[in-house]
Amino acid sequence: MRFYILFFIVLALLLVTPTNSFSQNVEHGLVLFTNSKVYSPAHTLQVYGSGLPEENLILRLFAPDESIAKFDQITTKEDGSFNYSLLIWPQPSTNFPYGTYTVEVISTAQNGISHKIDVKFSSTTELLDVPVERFVNTLVFAPETAAINHPVRVFVQTTSDGLLVGNSPRELLQTTHVHLPSGVSVPLSDSFKTLHQGLYFVDYTPIEEGTHVFHVVAFNQGTTSHGSAATNVLSQDLGGISEQIIKLNSILDETSEELDILKSEIEGFDTTLESASNKIDDSTGTIATSVEFIGEASSQLNSLMFPIIASIGIIVALQITIIARRR
């Protein structure tokens, strides 16, 4: 009979023991529970648990981007218990998007100890379809090409459930590094600067030619995320190559102008040669006509000189005859 009574007592205790979300670490009597792990709009986020009698407790609800979405302060009852409706989930918005939220209770009388529980805000409350997990996504933006000894700027974005998350880059990106072409790894965690929560950048000056791989490791709330990007470092940047191309284009333009001038001069020279050729042809014709005239004049001169020469010959012959007779 005692066995049956003990069995029913144990069974009753199992039935009344909460099976929903609760804080597993119980310290100094501070315990936290939530009435569910997954919530949808219009559902109530009920938190309950226990602390010290009549103790002031701080309740905070953190959004996926780690901002505080709800803040309240309550006092426990005389027996130390508390039961409080922290929030009625609204329709999703930019202030309350779907994602993983964190409920935290902080003790003001027990050296500030606290406990946290992750819950999910979703369009459905089916736990099997919506696991309560936190995912951190890391994106790295780096230029495709760069020049040796010229700084390049690399940007990093860390998100959770689509919202920007992160804190100090030295803590968030503490194992981030760059792989050099020589195989050496250079840490970058101390060089990052913050643009905005979840947005960071680093200025890095490559000293080797080749492919540089930026390996970013983000660690947030126990979750690790990796991202990487590659940059090909050249001996000269694209700006210098562009300046050389512009200079070459300028030289080609000047050469083209000089060629146009030379072409115009050659065209004038062709006209001059054609005119000279025409003049030479005219002169040749004139010379030929002059030679013809000279030939005709020579014939006429020969016709005139022949009788004279003949007369002279006759006179010389007569003189010779006379002289011979005298002797």
Asked if 170 contacts 187 with a C-beta cutoff of 8 angstroms, the reply is no
- Indicate whether 237 pLDDT > 80: no
Of 3-12, 61-70, 250-259, minimum mean pLDDT range: 3-12
Residues 159 and 200: their CA atoms lie apart, in Å, by: 12
How many helices (H) and strands (E) the chain has is answered by 3, 18
DSSP bridge pairs for 88 = 44
Token pair of 272, please? 């001059």
**136-236 topology per CATH:** Immunoglobulin-like (2.60.40)
Residues 252 and 261: their CA atoms lie apart, in Å, by: 14
The CATH architecture annotation of domain 20-121 reads Sandwich (2.60)
**Average pLDDT of the residues in 70-87:** 92
Give the model's pLDDT for residue 13. 45
- Indicate whether 135 pLDDT > 70: yes
- Indicate whether 73 pLDDT > 90: yes
**Average pLDDT of the residues in 130-146:** 80
**Average pLDDT of the residues in 210-234:** 88
Token pair of 322, please? 């006379």
Residues 181 and 199: their CA atoms lie apart, in Å, by: 27
Asked if 103 contacts 121 with a C-beta cutoff of 8 angstroms, the reply is no
- Indicate whether 57 pLDDT > 80: yes
When the pLDDT of each residue in the chain is averaged and rounded to a whole number, the result is: 79
**If pLDDT is split at 50, 70 and 90, which confidence band does 83 have?**
very high
Residues 63 and 96: their CA atoms lie apart, in Å, by: 7
Q: Which residue has the higher pLDDT, 147 or 326?
A: 147
Domain boundaries, given as residue ranges, for the chain: 20-121, 136-236
**Average pLDDT of the residues in 254-283:** 71
**Average pLDDT of the residues in 219-233:** 86
- Indicate whether 243 pLDDT > 80: no
At 161-220, the pLDDT tens digits run 778 888 888 888 888 999 999 989 999 988 899 998 889 999 999 989 999 999 999 888
Same fold, 20-121 and 136-236: yes
Residues 103 and 21: their CA atoms lie apart, in Å, by: 11
Give the model's pLDDT for residue 213. 93
Query: In the chain, pLDDT over 90 holds for what percent of residues?
Result: 32
Per DSSP bridges, beta strands 145-147 and 223-234 are: parallel
Q: Which residue has the higher pLDDT, 306 or 105?
A: 105
At 198-208, the pLDDT tens digits run 899 999 999 89
Give the model's pLDDT for residue 24. 40
